Amino acid sequence: MESENRPIGFFDSGIGGISVLKEAVKILPNENYVYFGDSKMAPYGIRTVENVKELTLNAVKFLLKKDIKALVIACNTATSAAIIDLRKEYSKYMPVIGIEPALKPAMEINRIGKVVIMATTMTLSEKKFNNLMKKYDKNSMIEPLPCPGLVELIEQGIIKGKVIEDYLNPKLLPLKKQGIAAVVLGCTHYPFIKESISKILGNDIPIIDGSKGTVQQLKRQLIKYNIINKNIDKLGSIKIFNSMNSQDIIKLSYELLKR
Ligand code: DGL
């Protein structure tokens, strides 16, 4: 296959990376995409770094067999565990893009209050995030908020209603009282519950995720490697795979992509 027609591979521990794929389809509609979600092994956020690295490297091998021209790790947790190894191994051949909590745009909003970073326990305890914190948290205004158990709900397709609100209320309401400047979604599953977060905090609190920045970086890299699809007359294709042997999870993935 001609280099530029080959698909871009997307990976996440489950269905969360669909939120990034959705942004990619918007910004780069002519590209072909292959998505792999490892829902069978999700959540990654409670595993050891070594284990997440191993699972991520295996998943990437699956995508490489699909003849991908670029790799997007659409998972904050897998990025913090494996991006250095993946870049060492593959960036000679293709762009390797990761995602991290979008602290920079959140800090630039400059509203009064704390910048709350919702993410998995692993993302928040990893070196990558702590370096980011050091860079941006000049006045201790960043409030890391680990959300164990939330990915499991979203993986079941529970993205709004009482169950999600009962989970979020005790975490967000005390922070709301102290004053929130912005919320950063540092896990690619969380954009699907944005509506519930706004319902609790109010529509005036900005909620920021890293998908746009990640896709813009993907675009820059496709141009740099000279592999951007120039076939602008035709919309690309999207194929979704999942380690869980179930049609329900594939169906849910396509539904979330359309939302
Ligand atoms: N979507 C993954 C992330 O961005 C979820 C991690 C997990 O499976 O715990 O962090």
Question: Amino acid letter at 84?
Answer: I
CATH number of the domain residue 134 falls in: 3.40.50.1860
Annotated binding site: 12-13, 44-45, 76-77, 188-189
State pTM to two decimals: 0.97
149 with 237, same domain? Answer: no
Angle among Cα 214, 113, 102 to the nearest 5 degrees reads: 5
156 with 218, same domain? Answer: no
* Best residue for ligand 1 mutational test, from 83, 187, 214 (most atoms within 8 Å of Cβ): 187
252 with 157, same domain? Answer: no
What tokens were used for 109? 């909003």
148 with 108, same domain? Answer: yes
Per-residue confidence (pLDDT) for residue 137, from 0 to 100:
83
DSSP H helices in 179-246: 194-201, 211-224
Per-residue confidence (pLDDT) for residue 1, from 0 to 100:
63
From 164, 159, 128, 124, select the one nearest 144 (Cα to Cα). 124
What residues act catalytically?
75, 187
Distance between Cα 72 and ligand 1 center (Å): 14
154 with 218, same domain? Answer: no
Torsion-angle region of 219 (φ positive above 0: left; ψ -120 to 50: alpha; else: beta)? alpha
Per-residue confidence (pLDDT) for residue 143, from 0 to 100:
96
164 with 226, same domain? Answer: no
Per-residue confidence (pLDDT) for residue 232, from 0 to 100:
84
The atom number, within ligand 1, closest to the CA of 189 reads: 1
Q: Tens of pLDDT along the chain (259 residues)?
A: 667 899 999 999 999 999 999 999 999 999 999 999 999 999 999 999 999 999 999 999 999 999 999 999 999 999 999 999 999 999 999 999 999 999 999 999 989 999 999 999 999 999 999 999 999 987 779 999 999 999 999 999 999 999 999 999 999 999 999 999 999 999 999 999 999 999 999 999 999 999 999 999 999 999 999 999 998 889 999 999 999 989 999 999 999 999 7
Q: Is 37:243 a contact under the CB 8 Å cutoff?
A: yes
91 with 167, same domain? Answer: no
Which residues are CB-neighbours of 161 under 8 A, at least 6 positions away? Answer: 196
Q: Is 133:100 a contact under the CB 8 Å cutoff?
A: no
Number of domains making up the chain: 2
Q: Which of 209, 224, 240 is at the close of a domain?
A: 209
205 with 215, same domain? Answer: no
Q: What is the spatial distance between Cα 32 and Cα 29, in angstroms, rounded to a whole number? A: 8
Domain that residue 88 falls in: 3-99+211-258
Q: What is the spatial distance between Cα 137 and Cα 134, in angstroms, rounded to a whole number? A: 6
Per-residue confidence (pLDDT) for residue 3, from 0 to 100:
79
Question: Amino acid letter at 189?
Answer: H
Question: Amino acid letter at 182?
Answer: A
Q: What is the spatial distance between Cα 45 and Cα 203, in angstroms, rounded to a whole number? A: 28
Annotated binding site for substrate: 12-13, 44-45, 76-77, 188-189
22 with 92, same domain? Answer: yes
Tell me phi and psi for residue 119, to 5 degrees: -165, 180
